[in-house]
Amino acid sequence: MAKNLATDMAPPFVLVAHYFIAGAIFYAFTAFLLPFYANEVNGYFLSSSIASLMHLYLLGFVMMTIFGAMYQLVPVVLEIPIFSKDFAYVQFYMFVSGILMFTFGLWDENYTQILPYGAMLMYLSMLIFIANVFLTYKNIFRWDIVAKFIFVSNIFLAIGVTIGFIIALNLIYGFYPDILNLVQMHIATTIFGYVIMTIMGIGMILLPMFSLSHGFKQIAIEMAFYTIIVGLVLFLIGSIYKIDLLRFGGVLFSAIAIFLALYQMYLIFSTRIRKQNDFWAKNMMASFVTLIVSFFILVAGIITKNDTYFLLFGFTLFFGFFTFFVVGHIYKILPFLVWYQRYSPLVGKLKVPMLNEMVHEKVADTQFWITLVGLLLAIISIVIKTPLLFQVGTVIMGIGTLLVIYNIYFTLVYGIEELKQYNKGLENGSN
């Protein structure tokens, strides 16, 4: 009953759809731009053009999708309604406007003057999200491991976006000389402190639910929770006081936390009832493999101080791990939301579809393999510094993106005509 009640407390589907649809559009837009960055494979990994693209992808696709999922999942996890749905709508429009202004100002030096205004809009919109989550926590009565992950990850998000806003202002006014140090802290708090921690937390809900796993122990994820907090705090202190030993300790603890989380995911998969490797399972496996690979690439970059490794790390993490994890869960979450909004009132009155019928499975499976092939080609191109191969790989990845967009559309319009006919029949019957 509690879980059913919590589902009823979730915000209207149209709110969550705002975030998912916008995320898909940003995903497609980023995929379209990627081939034009072919010459960047020989460049500096922190160039303004690469920073623009990475922010467009991370903020527009990854963060947008996470925000939408959080507005749906937080009431279910905490079993209390989100504090304000109006805040969520305001945040959405401010966030979209801020992303467009910020990334364009970062990309084109002729429009640098709009960069701080875009940064301000994004900063305020994220603070609205964080405040909405924290105010929701006022009435929480059950602090399980997922609730802890969500709460702490939002603390790191607050720190990370504050640092990011300072960086944006520094690009204009130049008041802090060591901008690379700020960038490292920004990456640590936003990507590892928020995105990775959020994925760890919600993974403990979504992975068992979608794989029908049960009976597993969760000591590994509980250890990962405290370990990654220690790692991030050590890294931040080491960065503030320029103590390399503390920064190294932070990286080490964070690495241990990630491997503990991966081990927890393995435990979940090993107890799953649904053994077949459907398109969701393939995406999850690919996401975890690319996460491990990206981490070893990062370690190689830290040891060698070679820019190519850092560029390769960012590309593998963003377009490998994040893409496969987010897309795989879109294929599961979106059909459920559409089904719940459109078909749950008709159970017992009309034949309702199964959730897997609301995704075109052949298209989803084809999209997975196309994306994987394109990603591998792009990774190889960065290693051997071949711009043409990068263009080929990213164009192939772009085709995969179009298939994701098609499947999202397929889910959103699924059964609409049949329901119109059903409702028309009810109206004729009543007349």
List 213's β-bridge partners, or say none: 272
Residues 324 and 202 reside in one and the same domain: no
Whether residue 156 sits in one domain with residue 239 = yes
Domain check: are 97 and 135 in the same one? yes
For 87-102, write each residue's pLDDT tens digit. Answer: 999 999 999 999 999 9
Amino acid occupying residue 383: V
pLDDT given at position 415: 84
pLDDT of 294: 93
For CA atoms 377, 383, 388, 394, give the dihedral sign. positive
Tell me what pLDDT residue 111 has. Answer: 85
Q: Are 64 and 17 in contact (CB under 8 A)?
A: no
Q: Do 279 and 348 share a domain, yes or no? A: no
Residues 224 and 275 in one domain: yes
Q: Do 147 and 288 have their domain in common? A: yes
What pLDDT shows up at residue 1?
Answer: 33
Q: Could you tell me which residues come within 8 angstroms of residue 87 by beta carbon, excluding any fewer than 6 positions away?
A: 128, 129, 131, 132
Task: Identify the residue whose tokens are 């709009």.
Answer: 114
Total number of domains constituting the chain: 2
Domain that holds residue 411: 318-431
Which domain CATH number covers 24?
1.20.210.10
CA distance 84 to 95: 17
Whether residues 312 and 334 share a domain: the answer is no
Instruction: Supply the pLDDT for residue 351.
Output: 79
pLDDT beneath 50: ranges in the chain: 1-6
Question: For residue 124, what is the DSSP state?
Answer: H
CB contact set of 296 (below 8 Å; sequence gap of 6+): none
What is the C-alpha to C-alpha distance for residues 232 and 250, in angstroms, rounded to an integer? 6
Mark residue 212 as left, alpha or beta (left: phi above 0; alpha: psi -120 to 50; beta: remaining): left
* Domain boundary pick from 296, 317, 338: 317
- pLDDT at position 121: 97
Of 282, 317, 352, the domain-final residue: 317
